[in-house]
Amino acid sequence: MRQQLRLHPDSRSVAVAQIEVEIARPRADILVLSYIVTGNMGGIRMPLATAGGRSDELWRPKRNACGGRDQRAANRNIIGA
């Protein structure tokens, strides 16, 4: 199943026209998400690939509200707004 994602109202991007997610469940215990980005690929800045590994508590914010990064600014760095 493919679903189009909606851009957050406070965000914008001149490089990305559309992002979709393809959702598959090959087995009951596996969920596979694939993302499809459409737009000016030369205008998108991607982080370097790193080795995978286990990480605990990914749901926790990395910084508190007093000293945290602006998540909108972090998103713009990834999608090249």
pLDDT tens track for 11-32: 888 899 999 999 999 999 999 9
Contacts of 73 (CB under 8 A, 6+ apart): none
Residue 71 backbone phi and psi in degrees, to 5? -60, -30
Dist. CA 17–CA 25, nearest whole Å:
27
Q: What is the pLDDT tens value at each position of the chain, 81 positions in all?
A: 899 999 888 888 889 999 999 999 999 999 999 999 999 988 888 888 887 777 777 667 665 444 445 545 544 444 544
